[in-house]
Amino acid sequence: MLIGIDASRAARARRTGTENYALHLIRGLLTLDRSHHYRLYFNRRPPPGLFVPGPNWEPRVIPFPRLWTHVRLSWEMAWRPPDVLFVPAHVLPVIHPRRSLVTVHDLGYRYYPTAHRPLDRLYLDLSTRYHTRAASHILADSQATRNDLVREYGADPTRITVVYPGVDESLGRVDDPVAIAAVRGKYGIHGTYVLYVGTLHPRKNLVRLIEAFSILESDVELVIAGQKGWLYDSIFARVRELGLEQRVVFPGYVADVDLPALLSGARVFVFPSLYEGFGFPVLEAMACGVPVVCSNASSLPEVAGDAALLVDPLDVKAWGVALERALTDEELRSELISRGYAQVRRFSWTRAAGETLRAIVGQA
């Protein structure tokens, strides 16, 4: 069977959650499955070494200046269709094989519409409605997302499979103080720090995090790492209003090579998001042996299990209390770290690839 995969998002230079999902899941499929042939579609030539060369896959680079998915990839599907098409991190092209799968990562725009720009919200709504109707099968990152698809769009639950993503196996605890010091210096971090990693936009609930941080008794820095998304001005404004310019650090996007040391050097990892389809950073922090405090909303209880302090994302005072505990209670910290390592072992890309392959083959 010829399995086509839209790999365009996996080849991006700066990857966030969905792009990393595509990269690691495709790698998992190519490693696991030797009985089928894969054709990976790219809108530009991928960087060397993105995927290990092998006899079970071929790249198909088809550049196009605009509307690549719905024009150029659709043309490809019309003239050289695979037996099955899988789109892990974007939208199905208008023309696609009858047997097509797509991953829906989250429906946060339905629950927090004001946290998205109007055109983005419209695009997300239309594309997800389209997936619900056009795909022969849908993968969801979590049970929460599966339930949202059924509730919000009337999706047939028998056409949805929950496949939990994995954690990058190369990500682990860094104990080398020189490596940690180098990363701290690179990103302008001077003292003990609480760390957030993710895109800067309203749904991440960073204004409330900053307000909670302002009431902490512990003398620590707050590091908010990640690239700017949208509607982020209020985040920086709140820091200025509270006079926290010297205690809150915005290092911007963190390169993958620096992430393990940055996570390992943190005293606490915090993830206050209002809504997540999965929440990769929670598991990444656990893999690096850092106590986690995260929101109790949407999919995050599925991801964190009993290995994090779960907090109502709207309760600023509760965030302050939870952060103070995670910073100072050594017994609690030790327990959270131990549970975190155990929780991470529940999520692997090999398992995700196997479950995804069964869903793909089931469409044949």
237-243, long-range: CB < 8 A, 24+ apart = 238/207, 238/210, 238/211, 239/210, 242/210, 242/211, 242/214
How is the chain split into domains, by residue range?
Answer: 2-166+348-361, 177-344
Q: 177-344 — its CATH code?
A: 3.40.50.2000
* DSSP track, 347-364: --HHHHHHHHHHHHHTT-
Same fold, 2-166+348-361 and 177-344: yes
Average pLDDT over residues 272-285: 95
Residue type, 351: R
Please determine, for residue 6, whether its predicted confidence score (pLDDT) is greater than 70.
yes
Closest CA to 49 of 35, 60, 41, 59: 59
Q: 2-166+348-361 — its CATH code?
A: 3.40.50.2000
* Span 97-136, pLDDT tens digits: 999 999 999 999 998 888 888 998 999 999 999 989 999 9
Buried b (16+ CB within 10 A) or exposed e, 91-121: bbbeebbebbbbbbbbbbbbebeebbeeeeb
* Span 85-101, pLDDT tens digits: 999 998 999 999 999 99
Determine what percent of the chain is predicted with pLDDT higher than 90: 90
Q: Is the pTM of this model over 0.85?
A: yes
Which residue in this structure is represented by tokens 């009985």? 35
